[in-house]
Structure 1
Amino acid sequence: MEVSNQSGISEFFLIGLTYDPDIESFIFSLYLCMYFVTIFGNFLIILAVSYDSHLHTPMYFFIANLSFTDICISTTIIPKILVNIQTQDESISYGGCLSQVCFVLIFGGFESCLLAVMAYDRYLAIGHPLRYTVIMSPSLCVLLVLLSVLISTMNGLLHSLMLLKLSFCTNHNILHFFCELVQIIKLACSDTFLNTLLSYTVTSAFSGVFLAGIIFSYIQIVSSILKITSVQGRNKAFSTCTSHLSVVFLFYGTAFGVYMSSAVSDSSVKNIIFSMMYIVVPQMLNPFIYSLRNREMKQAMRNLIYSVVLSSP
């Protein structure tokens, strides 16, 4: 279906990045390196989980899906940034801009859902270890992922379809490095009350429900850990949650920074910095968080690399 709009606008201009020749090559190299690290690290995790039968468990199944989501979010944004820097062309088509908004919301929402699912998985593993394998069956794991995809897709489509009703006049400059929902709403010259209301209420409720689920799961986890008599047992139980907690704090901490900066500040520089921390940095760091502190993951990666090296001519 062809994307159309009320005002006949054909393109926007992403002016959040500077094209100063003195630092242009540095910015291009920085984004290229970050994108390469993100793709390579997350792809390596997916291959390791698929290759090693010891990692065919619910926890690593969700980690592999999280890595896939990180690849998708980065691919939605960074390649366009690299093209714009290289060609010194700030434009992005109207359809491309709305597609970018939609996919960022879908994959960002999917990651939020996955983090809640992973918290529930850790709660069952620690609080109900004897029934864990029965409850977290492969069919339930797949169902939880599909349900997360459905919820996040509905959220992304809702906001994207509401953007089609807006009219845009003369100002087509987006003060950002990608098409961000709030920044596009600010450019509209038609009534944006419903869009603004949805962008804050639905997004807050969407994130709040899953964050509440994470908090509730960890309250139960802490309660279960305190019932363990041995100190070694407590440390072992808690160590299985440290990587997930680190990702949760990184994801929601930067997301909260984006939300607050766009709500209370008109500084485009602050919005860009917080959005970069939310969109680019967590996706790059997640593979390190899940591999450096995880003995099984590191061993699986070594086995994968060795098998590739030995099989090459």
Structure 2
Amino acid sequence: MNKRPHKKCLVEFQMAEQPLRVGEVAIVGAGPGDPGLLTLRALMLIQQADAIVYDRLVSPEIMELVNPKAELIHVGKASGCHYVPQEETNELLVQLAVRQRRVVRLKGGDPYIFGRGGEEAEFLVENDIDFQVVPGITSAAGCASYCGIPLTHRDYAQSVTFVTGHRKADHSLELNWQVLAAPNQTRVFYMGLHNAPTIVRELTAHGLSRRCPVALVERGTTPQQHMAVTTLAELEATIIREGFQPPTLIIVGEVVKLAESLAQPAPGERASFPARHPALSSGGRPA
């Protein structure tokens, strides 16, 4: 007879953790959109929060999981059009904490990867507000995986670089293009639609072939996922023809050629893949 004491399973253990303290802020990554990619700790915190400050990249499916009694405050941002200025968001987090609320700052992807989570954490420290950070699956990893693109591969890409395609206050996009154009790597541009002409011009000017494969992924991991494969030479035309809108990732590199054979269906939808591009060899694998 088995007399060993019952051990809590991992989910029971996670959900039984101490709740957020009043006056504390949790900066939480919600992942790229599919609620199945939410971490256990993120789920625990959004179900305990008194106030949730969220942005537009948090999917409706994830918002359905939050504490139904929580105060919901939308501070979503769109490229070139901020719903709430970042400075006001910072102040809001402090005010909610001072009012002894249990606060979750819920952000799409990972809060410390192009999510301005670092700026918010600095402001909380300056104002003596206790906080914690919960990482999330960043959009690059989630969207690429769902589209059949391994960001690294021993044969084609020995490194991956995450790059912001948008600068603060519309500053010019000044990057180390020589390094980005080097072979055997994958480049993922966040928020890069507006600066697609610059990305094409600078990468090709620094030696990257105009035939280099490129993937565009809009709202990846969600039922609204929209993906197309093209080349650097045809990137701008593809964006216009396919009507891509933010949030869209631009993935540049030879690993994109694997997409056709490795892509999985987006949640709730059948698998789909654009017509084979001339840059792809038969079967979608690199020639």
Q: Which structure features the higher share of strand residues?
A: 2
Q: TM-score, normalised by structure 2?
A: 0.24
- Kindly indicate whether structure 1 or structure 2 has the higher relative contact order, using CA contacts under 8 Å at least 6 residues apart: 1
Q: TM-score, normalised by structure 1?
A: 0.22
Q: Which structure features the higher share of helix residues?
A: 1
